[in-house]
Structure 1
Amino acid sequence: MDWNQIEGKWTQLQGDIKKQWGALTDDDLAKIDGDRDKFVGKLQERYGKAQADIEDEIRLWMANSRLDEH
């Protein structure tokens, strides 16, 4: 899966995203609207982690996600 797929299915993936990162609100997800930079920034803000750590988490989540289920 690549980010273009995630961006294209952002609305369908919001439930999965909230399961993974429960500190994100519906409002956060609406504002992010599939933008990777906004997503990384909001995760940094909510979790207080370094950008590299957030990027690693996103890569792992992407590797384990199955877009064909959505």
Structure 2
Amino acid sequence: MPPISCKVVVAGELSDHFDGAFDGLSLVRVSGTTELIGLLADQSALQGVLRQLADLGLEIVSVSTTQP
């Protein structure tokens, strides 16, 4: 199965402390939100990132995926 291209948007601008913390996704800060963008191995990896965000108490604004 090919990797999944994803973008997860969370409320708030995460600090540089979180760079590399989410399965290698890049952080892009955009006016009050943070976009986590990149490739994930599969749906299981995406669920892991979403669980990690929830465990940190971050508000998930949106999730979008496509096949690269």
The TM-score with structure 2 as length reference comes to 0.40
Task: Identify the structure with the greater strand proportion.
Answer: 2
Task: Identify the structure with the greater helix proportion.
Answer: 1
If asked which structure has higher relative contact order (CA below 8 Å, sep 6+), I would say 2
The TM-score with structure 1 as length reference comes to 0.39
